[in-house]
Structure 1
Amino acid sequence: MASVAEGPLPYKVSGEESSSSNPVDAVIFFGISLVLGIACRHVLRGTRVPYTVALLILGIGLGSLEYGTNHQLGKIGDGIRLWANIDPNLLLAVFLPALLFESSFAMEVHQIKRCMVQMLLLAGPGVLISTFCLGFALKLTFPYDWSWKISLLLGGLLSATDPVAVVALLKELGASKKLSTIIEGESLMNDGTAIVVYQLFYQMVLGWSFNWGAVIKFLTKVSLGAVGIGLAFGLVSVLWLGFIFNDTGDRDFTYTCCELHCLLHCSRGG
């Protein structure tokens, strides 16, 4: 597993390439990506092609073009390689809190209350069933002689859904608000379930011996601990934002951004 994960990537920047690349190239490519995204949105207006799927295809095309031309795209290629080799922890720390907050903040509270049972069933037992089904299929399908622990580890990694394109398409088509809420809420919750399942089997793959007592203790710690941290931060935020709600400036926005990243840091154990 480690040898596969640490193997050379197609866009690995060598010493000479990294020394010739300018960090500004990453900013240039970021701006170009925004322009291409806006243009893609404009072209697809009035069509049935999902916007997020088109962006995925566009990204795959740009990456394939850079790799297929043997890194001859100049500054654009340098920007692609810089973004492709960005530290994954940095990427998660910057974008994950904002993405999760935006998705959860945009949901309507009364719809969440109506759909809570369905969302919990899909995000809890649904993810576990998906994990074991995928692990069973991987164990029997691929000729890699994986152990059950590794198969279930990959099953847990693949069990979380990310229906961004589906939710966007449902909103554009004017589908039932309840259906959109169930799908989006379940996608938020099942990420947490999948992470817990992944961590559990990852520790087992590393060779840690688990008995049922240790497994229950681990699951209780990560599940209830996450809920407790979230409630604590939420309570502090409500009280603090109540004092600065009508204050001048953007203090509420600044505080929200700071709280999101502090919450991520505390949840990941520092």
Structure 2
Amino acid sequence: MLDNFPFYLSLIVAIVLLIMLANKIKVAYPVLLVVAGLLISFIPEVPTIHIDPELIFFIFLPPLLYEAAWGISWKELWRWRRIITSFAFVVVFLTAISVAFVANHFIPGFSLVLGFLLGGIVSPPDAVSAGAILKFVKVPKRMSSILEGESLLNDASSLIIFRFALIAVATGQFVWYEAALSFSWMLIGGVGIGLLVGWIFMKAHKYLPTDTNMDIVLTIVTPYIMYLAAEEVHSSGVLAVVSGGLLLSNKRHLFLSSTSRLQGVNFWESLCFVLNGLVFMLIGLDLPEITAGLEGVSTSSAIGYGVLITGVLIVGRILSAYGAVLVTLVARNFITVADTRSPGYKVPFILGWTGMRGVVSLAAALSIPLHLPDGTPFPQRNLILFITFVVILLTLLLQGLTLPYLIRKIQIPNMDESLSEEEAYHQIRKQLASHALAHLNTHYKEQLNHQPVLQQMAKKWEQNVTVRDGELMVEECKVIYIDILNQQRDFLHQKNNEEVTLNEEVIRKHLRFLDMEEEKLNFL
């Protein structure tokens, strides 16, 4: 491990540079990272990378799911709950069945159970890939909310299918009522344990004498405890992290200080940036190990099987997207749905095209045991692993590279808001100022007459209320203000260098204040 440390360090540097390049050329960074890992794996004397599935499931997955749960809107998740749960559970299940029948029919030696196992592995789309692509194009809020919500749940449903198929292959039997009970426990137990652990940590943050650093450390520990506690009792660790993360995210203002919230966001963004980069690079680097284990079938035939399964996944997801819209249009006659308007043919197609596969699929394939309980080799393990790799690579390249073009070409109509995001932001800003003024005049009228600081605050809020949209800070003013802030920084650095006895911490506090002033420009 220590011998290869310089190599791993250089990988992190390469990841940062590749993501810079991806942002520059407006390509989703998972695509570049997988391709780069693939190319690096062909370089002679490069260390062979062995991906331990437990490394993905127990080290990478909990924090990535937890951060995603903190970033999603519970209101949007609840609003689109029917289509999200249908994609995360029903569509994943139907996809697994489709893959099972196709694999059983076209791939020699593939039983229906093995096909179902493969279906459980490749059925969940990867959230990181879609999110990285949607950064470069504007899509309606409803679409991004549906994709985010689906990504939180589809990993759980696919891994549940994978577990049942794995048991069926190992034991040679499938008892439906035992599977139903086990499935129910995975769902209920996972959600319940996540909420319980989340509630315990929420009370710990609130009542223990923690500071910002302790709060951030506790947030690191939380998803791992949720995941391990659920897995220990054979329920879904993924659902535990998601449900607990949603609870803490929705209540964060009750138990975290403003400093902990601000610094926590910065920490988690940096952590997940590194983790996401590593996992996609590792997918490409793992190619030699995957191809080395391919025996009994030619590489060309294995690639053909991978292309076939990829086609099934793409077509199946697109059909499912149109099916979900059709069901919604019928269901609106009997129940209340989130939106009664038809989205047309464009939105379902784009939603269906966002089916890139990623690291969860590879980790699941790698976790297939080498041998069955009786000691015989696990049937078709190497071929399943290779097909999974081909599916990940093809969906990332084909869909990942074309999705931004399709979104721009199709021009999806926005049926979500009558106001733009910027207009809505400034409207609420005025309402906040009015609310603050009313509270100040009602509860602190006497202090307002005698305290100059309160009077200045009131004047600032009055300006926010009366300002017209045309009077908002324009880009030219922002440039000038940033230049002034930079001049102030230069003055502080010069003063710190010239006055030997001046406490540098005083200078640093002023520099932090200037940083916050510059950060505020993003909200003006």
Which range, TM-score by smaller chain? 0.7 to 0.9
Residues 157 and 195 of structure 1 are in contact (CA less than 8 Å); yes or no, is this contact kept in structure 2?
Answer: yes
* 1:148 counterpart residue number: 112
TM-fit CA distance, 1:134:
0.8
Aligned alpha-carbon RMSD (Å): 1.9
The reply to whether residue 122 of structure 1 matches residue 95 of structure 2 is no
**CA distance, structure 1, for counterparts of residue 91 and residue 123 of structure 2:** 9
* 1:137 counterpart residue number: 102
**CA distance, structure 2, for counterparts of residue 265 and residue 247 of structure 1:** 24
Q: 1:253 to 1:166 in 2, by over 3 A?
A: same
* 1:247 counterpart residue number: 210
**Deviation per residue, 1:183-230 (Å, 9 max, x gap):** 122122011001111111111111164433212211112121111111
* 2:38 counterpart residue number: 60
The reply to whether residue 31 of structure 1 matches residue 31 of structure 2 is no
* 2:121 counterpart residue number: 157
* 2:187 counterpart residue number: 223
The reply to whether residue 45 of structure 1 matches residue 9 of structure 2 is no
**CA distance, structure 2, for counterparts of residue 243 and residue 179 of structure 1:** 39
More deviation, 114-123/36-45: 36-45
**Aligned residue runs from structure 1 range 56-205, under 5 A:** 56-65=34-43, 69=44, 71=45, 77=46, 80-81=47-48, 84-144=49-109, 146-205=110-169
Q: 1:225 to 1:55 in 2, by over 3 A?
A: same
| TM-score of the pair, normalised by structure 1 | 0.79
Match of 2:80, SS? helix
The reply to whether residue 259 of structure 1 matches residue 237 of structure 2 is no
- For 1:147, the aligned partner's letter is S
**CA distance, structure 2, for counterparts of residue 252 and residue 208 of structure 1:** 48
| TM-score of the pair, normalised by structure 2 | 0.42
TM-fit CA distance, 1:172:
2.4
Q: 1:164 to 1:181 in 2, by over 3 A?
A: same
The reply to whether residue 238 of structure 1 matches residue 238 of structure 2 is no
Match of 1:173, SS? coil
More deviation, 209-218/251-260: 209-218
TM-fit CA distance, 1:119:
0.8
- For 1:59, the aligned partner's letter is G
Structure 1: which 4+ aligned runs deviate by more than 4 Å?
A: none
More deviation, 23-32/119-128: 23-32
- For 1:89, the aligned partner's letter is E
Higher RCO (CA < 8 A, seq sep 6+): 2
- For 1:98, the aligned partner's letter is P
**CA distance, structure 2, for counterparts of residue 214 and residue 248 of structure 1:** 47
**CA distance, structure 2, for counterparts of residue 160 and residue 140 of structure 1:** 22
Residues 171 and 180 of structure 1 are in contact (CA less than 8 Å); yes or no, is this contact kept in structure 2?
Answer: no
**CA distance, structure 2, for counterparts of residue 87 and residue 189 of structure 1:** 23
Match of 1:247, SS? coil
Identity %: 24
TM-fit CA distance, 1:106:
1.2
Match of 1:160, SS? coil
**Deviation per residue, 1:125-150 (Å, 9 max, x gap):** 11111010011111111122x22111
Pairs aligned (count)? 233
Larger Rg belongs to: 2
**CA distance, structure 1, for counterparts of residue 212 and residue 130 of structure 2:** 37
Q: 1:252 to 1:214 in 2, by over 3 A?
A: same
**Stretches of structure 1 lacking an aligned partner (at least 5 in a row):** 1-22, 72-76
TM-fit CA distance, 1:249:
4.2
**CA distance, structure 2, for counterparts of residue 91 and residue 26 of structure 1:** 19
**Stretches of structure 2 lacking an aligned partner (at least 5 in a row):** 234-524
* 1:11 counterpart residue number: none
Q: 1:26 to 1:180 in 2, by over 3 A?
A: farther
Match of 2:232, SS? coil
Match of 1:175, SS? coil
More deviation, 183-192/210-219: 210-219
Residues 120 and 162 of structure 2 are in contact (CA less than 8 Å); yes or no, is this contact kept in structure 1?
Answer: yes
